[in-house]
Amino acid sequence: MLKSLITAACCFIMVQASAQIDTVATKAAHPDVFQYVEKMPKAPFNIGEYLGENIKYPKKARKENIAGRVIVRFIVTETGEIDSARIIKGIGGGCDEEALRVVEEMPKWSPGTQNGVAVKVYFNLPIMFILED
């Protein structure tokens, strides 16, 4: 019997602010959404635990022995809502859809801020799908 283990790669690439006072924000393709800000968005819960409790390993992926990393990109809005989630790297077998489902159902985050003002920020979340015996 296969035992499913789902882990979140909680190795977020966080922007480390330099010692400079005037940190530069980087805007994304959409002029109202930032890539990096002074204070990046943060989940007020343990993402690894949330994913482990809420992701259901897809039957098709289990049957076809599909495992790997799905990367979901989304926007954390000024109010902490998750918006515009999409797959930027998928593995198939239903894992991509399951990763999207769970991300879209996430509770609110603490929004990112720039110059003390809450702003929209892109966030990439890697989610590991691992099958173990």
Per-residue pLDDT tens for 38-64? 999 999 999 999 999 999 999 999 999
Query: Which helix (H) or strand (E) element contains residue 84?
Result: strand 82-89
Task: Note down the domain range covering 88.
Answer: 3-8+27-132
- pLDDT value, residue 30: 57
Q: Is residue 15 part of a domain?
A: no
Q: Is residue 20 part of a domain?
A: no
- pLDDT value, residue 46: 97
* HSE-up (13 A, CA, CB side) for residue 43: 20
More confident residue, 4 or 113: 113
| CATH number, domain with residue 90 | 3.30.2420.10
Per residue in 12-30, pLDDT (tens digit) is 222 222 222 233 455 445 5
Q: What is the tally of structural domains in the chain?
A: 1
Asked if residue 34 lies in contact with residue 28, where contact means CB atoms within 8 angstroms, the answer is yes
Asked if residue 36 lies in contact with residue 25, where contact means CB atoms within 8 angstroms, the answer is yes
Per residue in 70-79, pLDDT (tens digit) is 999 999 999 9
Which residues, listed in sequence order, are joined to residue 5 by a DSSP beta bridge?
130
Least confident of 3-17, 36-50, 94-108: 3-17
